Structure 1
């Protein structure tokens, strides 16, 4: 069935497939995507595809339709059922086969989508297969003249749980009370399995799987969605709070006082632990992660490598450099020993291990990794991002020591502060990140820069 290029490219995006169910995505469309994906990975000599899905009401039907498309092309399917995205990556590595995860991550309930990977959890993006898939869906997926593939089911949850625990030294973990906000997402599925053998008292919040997200959006990057966990940590007297997004591939941390811990600080902590296992290893960080990360990595004898923002760039650098670990400001954490894929669960276990092997509270433990004040990402709607960026550069020209254009513009100032301005690829937005020695300096810079951007 041929489709319009406009409708297909509106859904098959740079990194995944995503859209409104019934409007952009339906079973017939997904079946075609499954067929095109099967044809793509058959070129890698793949013989089967593993499929998992999240708790959205539309996910089981769409996953089955995708499976129909795959088997119609002669490849077998292994259905693992309900899964977090990193559980699907685990299955892709375990079975050494391509995978498809049905999720729209933190997007509202009406959305769904597909994250695709090749064998060993290698990502499939626009330049590594999605454009080929889109072209076939537009033109109509050619029929396969051989025998159809088969469908089997396999539950890998316990194997996944055991595997991630085995990647972190939990032997010195003291008893901890851990509050976890699953946001009605897949953390409610994976956390009990992972934590069950550990000496922790789990205080669960919103563990009921519900793709309508009745309590709050499953997007902890928005501070409004951390409020319930912050209160819950204080109410339960928990030692730490963890929040997962809808497909549980991102993990956010709250300390015992209810204060959010910067993902950059988590990146620095995990980097330190991974470098202790492999001194001199490479650690990836994106360019808006705190400068504390490359500083600490260098001080520990590691090799920091800076990348553009976006998981495709991190994963590419992970593969090219053999990096042991990579972290992003958005709370995506990547591990070489997890096939270079991201796992919020693994990052959370590292923080638990670090907290549990000593007696200080988390707020004190993390202080060494919080060297600077940061603004977080601030978005502005602009008509001409390039023109506004040039206006900011002009205004700061007499204070600038370095202008870097790896991703947008990163401006280093004479006093040691820096900021990055990046235009969104999909929306008329200009994104600002600022870091300086103190919160007052950050606030002053943000006010000055936004005064120009929003003029």
Structure 2
């Protein structure tokens, strides 16, 4: 079974059949997607593919079915088993093979999904994903036999190479001793963090490091403030220097300072960008369309160049490659590194922050002071019945209050009473039935006023037409 709804703009994601909610796909559907991938992949990179999966309950069965679909088309499969998403990017990059990762990232436990890449961890084109969707749905409708496997299957362990590569990119020798809280949320950071941190002089305070795809402690989504509370409390209780909170597949990492305060991803982007520009003056930094304007200010002051991408890992990776950018950051805590094949990796970002802190005599809160220049709402999510109509309602309400952009959702830019800029972006999620709001202003008061005005429009039901 495969419903068309599982095919998103950047990946595949949907509820797996067998739970309490109606399923959108199952093992048979995964096998058809595997066949579709093999039928459409470039002959230059279809012969061998590396496949990984996260810890979700459905992961082993559904990835095995996909692999059966590949092998029925003669594809040689390297199965890396349990892997964080950035570990799979490493495998694709280091082996120069196409890659497939089974994960639903931060979605609830009954979801699963697939992220694809070309050899070298390069993103696949949106047209390729659309073609895979069409072909898989056709195969599903035809219901032809899957066929016997003719491609070989080989098990590989990519974790040691992944750890070694991360440490080749960040010098963690000679750092002052640090206490670090890591909340893996029962996700894949629990699989990688001990191996990565055993080479660093830290006291590791681990929260929810055991792999458990039912997520018994909290959802693996650090964008939601309630999922950061345990790590914030642990930082304060243990007098830790730093807190790290990863999402389910560990390609994103949120940073918490020694006070238990969350450092916004845009501030982290500015911090790492400054470090990378010190290493390579004049380099290019990629941000997305809702990253704080502070990042561009910092990069420009340091002589670097900023280019802006649409939101989403496939868009950012493509722009990283096109611009030969040294680093990229998104508001959602995806961080991209040229030396990591332009791919996103939460663990490498964490190592960079840890190294910067370990070489400083300042606490984390002081280290980022120069990069906290504006007030930012963070990403606020709302479930609405009609995303497009709601966006238009907000656009109409803000008509005449600022300039309007439609590049990536709705962006409105205006000036406060002191002629200082504010802006908000409202866009539909690429992966969930949500509207995502980001607001930025020079002061907390203006940010809160704009935020509340937009949220009132988004979350208040539209009036029913008279006579309806």
- Structure 1: runs of 5+ lacking an equivalent: none
Note if contact 2:98-2:118 (Cα within 8 Å) is conserved in structure 1.
yes
Describe how 1:183-262 pairs up with structure 2 within 5 A: 183-262=185-264
Counterpart CA distance in 1 for 2:229 and 2:149 is 53
CA distance in 2, matches of 1:422, 1:433: 7
Q: 5+ residue gaps in structure 2?
A: 18-22, 463-468
Equivalences for 1:408-423 in 2 at 5 Å? 408-414=409-415, 415-423=419-427
Q: What secondary structure, in the 3-state scheme, does the structure 1 residue paired with 2:223 have?
A: coil
- What's the counterpart of residue 131 of structure 1? 130
- The residue that corresponds to 2:406 in the other structure is 405
2:370 to 348, 368, 371: 368
1:393 corresponding residue in structure 2: 398
**Are 2:8 and 1:9 equivalent residues in the alignment?**
no
Cα distance in 2 for partners of 1:133, 1:119 equals 17
Cα gap change, 1:403 to 1:416, in 2 (>3 Å): farther
- The question of whether the paired residues in 2 share the 8 Å contact of 1:73 and 1:144 is answered with no
What residue number does 1:444 align with? 449
In structure 1, the partner of 2:104 is 104
- Kindly state the Cα deviation for residue 124 of structure 1 after the two structures are TM-superposed: 2.6
Q: Quote the offset at 1:81 in angstroms.
A: 1.1
User: Would you say the 8 A contact 2:391–2:426 is kept in 1?
Assistant: no
Asked if 1 retains the 8 angstrom alpha-carbon contact of 2:45 and 2:118, the reply is: no
TM-score by length of 1: 0.92
Does the CA contact (< 8 Å) of 2:422 and 2:447 recur in 1?
Answer: no
**What TM-score, normalized by structure 2, do the two folds share?**
0.90
The superposition leaves residues 315-351 of structure 1 with CA deviations (integer Å, 9 ceiling, x where unpaired) of 1211211111110000001111111110011111111
Please identify, of 111-120 and 189-198, the stretch whose mean Cα deviation from structure 2 is larger.
111-120
Contact 1:47 1:76 in 2 (8 A): yes
Task: Confirm or deny: 8 A CA contact 1:419 1:432 kept in the other structure.
Answer: no
Using the alignment, how far apart are the partners of 2:357 and 2:85 within structure 1? Answer: 26
2:28 counterpart of 1:28: yes
Q: Would you say the 8 A contact 2:335–2:349 is kept in 1?
A: yes
Q: Give the match's secondary structure for 1:433.
A: strand
3-state SS of 1:10 partner: helix
SS in 2 for 1:247: coil
Q: Which residue of 2 aligns with 1:63?
A: 63
Q: Would the alpha carbon gap of residues 429 and 144 (structure 1) be closer, same or farther in structure 2, given more than 3 Å must change?
A: closer
Deviation at 1:9, TM superposition (A): 1.6
Answer yes or no: is 1:52 the counterpart of 2:57.
no
Aligned equivalents of 2:192, 2:244: Cα separation in 1: 13
Deviation by residue 1:374-403 (Cα, 9 ceiling, x = unmatched) = 112234537523431332332xx2x53x43
**For 2:106 and 2:380, how far apart are their aligned partners in 1?**
19
Aligned to 1:140: 139
More moved, 445-454 vs 176-185: 445-454
Asked if 2 retains the 8 angstrom alpha-carbon contact of 1:285 and 1:307, the reply is yes
Secondary structure at 2:270 match in 1: helix
Q: For residue 36 of structure 1, report the CA deviation from its aligned partner.
A: 1.4
Give 1:432's aligned residue.
437
